[in-house]
Amino acid sequence: MRFVPKRQLSIPILMYHSIAEKDESRVRAYFRTATSPAAFAAQMEYLSRNGYRTCSVAQVVERLNASSEDASKSVAITFDDGYADFYRNAFPVLNQFNFTATMYLPTACIGESPLRFKECDCLTWSQVRELLGYGISFGSHTVTHPQLRNLGESAIERELVDSRSVIEERTGCGVDSFAYPYAFPKTDDKFKKRLREALVRAGYRNGVCTIVGRANRGSDPLFLQRLPINSLDDTALFQAKLAGAYDWVALPQSLIKQAKIASTGKE
């Protein structure tokens, strides 16, 4: 009898940013961050039609650790940067399919009236509170969206602690999830250790980053992999990412970064 190894349990965490019509024709496909409302609706319809069930990032960690049957067809949907187009274009679609999602907020860009980040309007606190009432979760994306690797220890601490406390104060809900801004420096073990310790001290229990792939039992719960999604993800590519066909991208990414560090001393 031929032995067939058991497949590794994995859960896809989708990474979205802006849900809007944007001209990103001059941006390389991998680095595009906008998803048109029509593409987003088609992607959510695909998840619903194929029996996927949304869960929080905390539930991803729980289900992986427990090897739960609930992990089958589980998917977490996340959004970075707190853009107001989530309220207009993404939430109605999520609500239509009874899906949940987690939005990560750079708190300096969230105000009582719309503030702008990267030339886009961001959510207001009243919209955040309204969305909470419909089951949308919120996590920290720092205060000012800096490249944390370039900051000193006290500055990193402020970005982590202050963003969490502001969201909790404004919403009355606990915050235990964090999303790393910018490309995650996964080859810098010294920084990752320092950041991880700072996240634990600040009270975070889980988090996501830009390492490509699906989360699995070997993933660090504070630096979970995600699958970047944009308007170019047609049904075939979207299905392939969910199934794990995109997980291999993480390896060449690491090799390229290691080669860059070896030649320049910088990541």
User: What ranges do the domains of the chain cover?
Assistant: 10-264
**Confidence class for position 246, pLDDT limits 50, 70, 90:** confident
Q: What percent of the chain has pLDDT over 70?
A: 89
Q: The whole model's pTM is what?
A: 0.90
Please give the pLDDT value at position 250.
56
pLDDT tens for 163-193 read 999 999 999 999 999 999 999 998 899 999 9
CB neighbour list of residue 221: distance below 8 Å, 6 or more residues apart? 61, 205, 206, 207
Report the chain's mean pLDDT, rounded to a whole number: 91
For the segment(s) 10-264, the CATH number from 3.80.10.10, 3.20.20.370, 3.10.310.50, 3.30.70.260 is 3.20.20.370
| Cβ(97)–Cβ(47) below 8 Å | yes
**Confidence class for position 249, pLDDT limits 50, 70, 90:** low
pLDDT tens for 55-79 read 999 999 999 998 767 678 999 999 9
Please give the pLDDT value at position 259.
40
Query: Closest Cα to residue 209, out of 218, 221, 194?
Result: 221
pLDDT of 254 above 80: no
In one-letter notation, the amino acid at residue 122 is: C
CB atoms within 10 A of CB 182: 14
Please give the pLDDT value at position 97.
98
CB atoms within 10 A of CB 31: 10
Query: Closest Cα to residue 181, out of 57, 81, 107, 56?
Result: 81
CB atoms within 10 A of CB 142: 26
Q: How far apart are CA 199 and CA 148, in angstroms?
A: 12
- φ, ψ for residue 78, nearest 5 deg: -125, 150
Q: How far apart are CA 72 and CA 53, in angstroms?
A: 9
The tokens describing 267, both together, are: 């990541």
Please give the pLDDT value at position 111.
97
| Cβ(35)–Cβ(14) below 8 Å | no
End-to-end CA distance of the chain: 48
